[in-house]
Amino acid sequence: MGDNAYTSGTDAEYQTGYFNMYANIFRKMPQWSTLGNHDANNGSTNPLANFPYFDMFTFPTAGECGGVGSGTEHYYSFDYGNIHFICLDSQASDTSTIETNGSDGPMAVWLRQDLAGITATWIIAFWHHPPYSKGSHNSDTEPQMVRMRTNFNPILENGGVDLVFLGHSHNYERSVLLDGFYGRSDQVPGITAAMRKNAGNGSTSGFTTTANGKIRNAANGFIATDTTAGTVIPPDGAYIKPLTGPRDRFGAVYNTAGMSGLADSGMIDHPAMYVSYNNVGTVNLDVNGNSLTCTFVQSGGATPDNFTITKQGAADTDGDGMSDAYEIAHGLSRYTNDAASGADTDGLSNFLEFAFGLNPTVNDGGFLEADVSGGIVTKRGRPSPWYQTSTSGTDFRVVYIRRKDAAEAGLVYIPQFSGDLVNWADSTVTPTVIAEDGEVEAVSVEYPLFPTPQDGGFFRLGVRSTH
């Protein structure tokens, strides 16, 4: 996270304080670094200066390792597995953006282009000056920290960043799943409930605190409280983000980890943080497919914090049960709950149109049709009665449309039967797929063989969302 060699990042300081110290590790581990103030002659902001730092590292400038070429080693990106890493320069590069300065500097221009082309599951950014910190440095007052928060956090959050690693403050500070807070820590109003996409600890296993820390959780009313050694913090469950669809504004975790060589004092009570420590340690990152876990490992081996982010399901910004991709494709609002609406006069709500794979702007609410012998859905629509001849006579069935991505979209289809239109019973029969057309499939459910007042000659289909 920068500041690899003190105090001015000279060649001699790098040799004794960095390369000699980690010689065995560096023989088998590549280094990806970001420019810190101590790497830049103890604070130079000259973007043209050729600091020894740039003679000791070779970073991609032309997209050699994935991403868009930046043309400079000050900032760059690379791919590793299903992760896209973005390194920014908070020390010496132009941090101007259209939103705050009227025009983008070169780094902002490049960042927007890089974010636009990402297909990796995970986006992890890192730079030196933390946007949120009350450790050995104060993000309310230091210009570089303020600029990164106000100028670059919005770009990254719009681009779907998942995790941000920082240095500079010699402390461990870890946020909740956060989005959209760009002000001072003491401003009123401050961080709202909507900005905390998840105010829990994000842990799937829980952890045991050590001393010299601060924690904010439901047990203390989310007020920064001193940690005590040996307190068991139960898990709140992983932070959940969508796996598919638009990835903007679903939150990121900001993790200041500038304490690997030295832990300084500080209030460590920034309201964005779930837990913070004035202890030496390192952060271990494990990514396994759609799951990402970070663990704070202190110098003595204690692990007083961990969190997990899990990607699952389709993006649904407004939580109305319809995926963002569907709403965008059909001109609906992904920011307003319009599931119950329906303007195409076919009698189906937008939500049911989504569930049946229909177009909410077209009157297409007739019965579905299928070429069963060919296994093809020829017309999507409402559930339809259907029968087929069998060795035992005639099977009377109901056929309905089910999205193939139902699990990802959070849809549950519930066929029900009744003999009196008052008492309804869920079907216990596993639906049979009889046709499909790529996005949806037609499935059939047999009517009960011996109708009772609870299940018989009447059918209805319930659809609900788990989002």
- pLDDT at residue 454, as a whole number: 47
Checking if the pLDDT of 8 tops 50, the result is yes
Residue tagged 């943080």 (tokens): 273
* Partners of 239 in beta bridges: 309
Q: What percent of the chain has pLDDT over 70?
A: 97
> pLDDT (tens digit, 9 = 90+) per residue, 133-183?
999 999 999 999 999 999 999 999 999 999 999 999 999 999 999 999 999
Q: Kindly list the structural domains of the chain, giving each domain's residue range(s) and its CATH number in brackets, ordered by start.
A: 59-311 (3.60.21.10), 324-465 (no CATH)
- pLDDT at residue 215, as a whole number: 97
CB 86 within 8 A of CB 77: yes
Of 452, 396, 400, 445, give the one whose Cα is nearest residue 423.
Answer: 452
- pLDDT at residue 456, as a whole number: 59
- pLDDT at residue 232, as a whole number: 97
Q: Cα(first)–Cα(last) distance of the chain, in Å?
A: 37
Which residues lie below 8 Å from residue 91, measured CB to CB, with a gap of 6+?
2, 35, 36, 37, 39, 40, 45, 128, 129, 144
Q: Region 351-376: what's the mean pLDDT?
A: 94
Of 137, 163, 197, 185, give the one whose Cα is nearest residue 283.
Answer: 163
Q: Region 100-123: what's the mean pLDDT?
A: 97
From residue 456, how far is each of 267, 297, 390, 424, 461 by CA, in Å? 68, 61, 20, 9, 14
pTM over 0.95: no
Q: Are strands 83-87 and 291-298 parallel, antiparallel or unpaired?
A: unpaired
> pLDDT (tens digit, 9 = 90+) per residue, 41-67?
988 999 988 899 999 999 999 999 999
Q: Region 201-226: what's the mean pLDDT?
A: 95
- pLDDT at residue 10, as a whole number: 94
Phi, psi (degrees; rounded to nearest 5) at 462:
-95, 140
What type of residue is 426? D
6 by Cβ neighbours in 10 Å (0-12 / 13-18 / 19+) ranks as: middle
Helix (H) / strand (E) element for 157: namely: helix 153-159
Q: Region 281-305: what's the mean pLDDT?
A: 97
* Greater pLDDT, 308 or 389: 308
Taking all residues of the chain, what is their mean pLDDT, rounded to a whole number? Answer: 94
Checking if the pLDDT of 78 tops 90, the result is yes
- pLDDT at residue 325, as a whole number: 95
CB 318 within 8 A of CB 337: yes
